[in-house]
Amino acid sequence: MTANTDPDSKQPKMPIALDAVGGDNAPGEIIEGAVQAYRESGVPITLVGPRDLLLTELDRINASDSRIELVDAPHNIAMDESPVQAVRHKRESSIVVGMDLVKKGRASGFVSAGNSGAIMAASVLRLGRSAEIDKPALASVFPTLAGECLMLDVGASTDCRVDDLVRFAVMGSVYCQRVMMMPNPKVGLLSNGEESSKGNSIVQQTHERLASSNLNFVGNIEGKDIPFGKADVIVADGFVGNVALKTAEGVAEFAFKLLRDEFDRASLLSKIGGLLLMPSLRRIKRRFDYDEYGAALLLGVDGIVLIAHGRSKAKAIKNALLRAYSAVEFGVVNHIRVGSDQMVRRSSIPVSG
């Protein structure tokens, strides 16, 4: 679902809070992305950061007259700071203030391209976990030949138990069913081989548990299977999932850079042929461009939280805000809470919680 395209039409009661000073390209690109989201799609937004800085940036891009709300947060959590310590001691940081807006019902969701560890720590400490879910999971949409799949976890929880991976499978299935409109999503467990005996002991035990459930479990899948749509839900711990996602992103960037380099060295006739293919190549590039997907949704916490790439520019931030808006409209938190409990009971999945 996309956001309403008329800024003056009916909007959600609460805005999306955006960390305006998080990320490598803050605050300029972040604020520009917020303005684009509001002007193009009517997403109500609250910018969180040092008020004077926000006003200066809005004036710089001729958006000082926009109806974007500002909330002062004089401090920022740097990328190299200890996440938990920073969240506990920097109460006036943009991440903590933004998360508190969600907790107090003054914002319907939170988006940041800042310190991902601090965002996850603040999500758990300020919002709390959803019932029965011990560890949250970052869920990222990934393009495949069959359309899209959902990969989780891609970085939130690196040390996972069997119960955690089973919960990730359940949350991913619920999300695909109720948000991505897949009636019976295929669940795959990321491993170093398709056989049930492959993987470490955690992966092997998870395979056994999922195989005995009523989920549409297709077994272990390897990294090479992901782009071909062998599974709709890709389950992994946060370490493996993050490596797989970042590797795929790097390979995609590498491939398109090679194409550009070859085009620059090509003969005139080859360049003419390449120009004819350019519209198709641009469409392919968009499918693999993380800017198109905006951010990863943090599932398992009691609120809508999206974490964007640290190097996000305006386009990625705009799309992250649109994704957050859609998550609010779909009632993702409630769907995950209710749907996960129902699926666990219906599937007789032994989860200790």
- pLDDT in 10s for each residue of the chain, 353 residues: 444 444 444 445 689 999 999 999 989 999 999 999 999 888 899 999 999 999 999 999 888 767 889 999 999 998 888 989 999 999 999 999 999 999 999 999 999 999 999 999 999 999 998 867 788 999 998 888 888 899 998 988 888 999 899 999 999 998 898 888 899 999 999 999 989 889 899 999 999 999 988 899 999 999 999 989 999 999 999 999 999 888 887 877 777 777 777 667 767 666 666 666 666 656 665 666 556 666 899 999 999 999 998 889 999 999 999 989 988 988 888 888 877 766 666 655 555 44
129-160 burial, b if ≥16 CB within 10 A, otherwise e?
Answer: ebebbebbbbbbbbbbeeeebbbbbbbbbeeb
Do residues 242 and 263 make contact, with C-beta atoms less than 8 angstroms apart?
A: no
Q: What three-state secondary structure class fits 171?
A: helix
Cα-based torsion angle of the residue sequence 124, 126, 131, 136 in order, rounded to the nearest 10 degrees = -20
Q: How far separated are the first and last CA of the chain, in Å rounded? A: 32
Alpha helices in the chain (DSSP H): 28-41, 51-60, 83-89, 94-103, 116-122, 162-178, 201-211, 238-265, 268-287, 290-293, 314-330, 332-347
Do residues 11 and 4 make contact, with C-beta atoms less than 8 angstroms apart?
A: yes
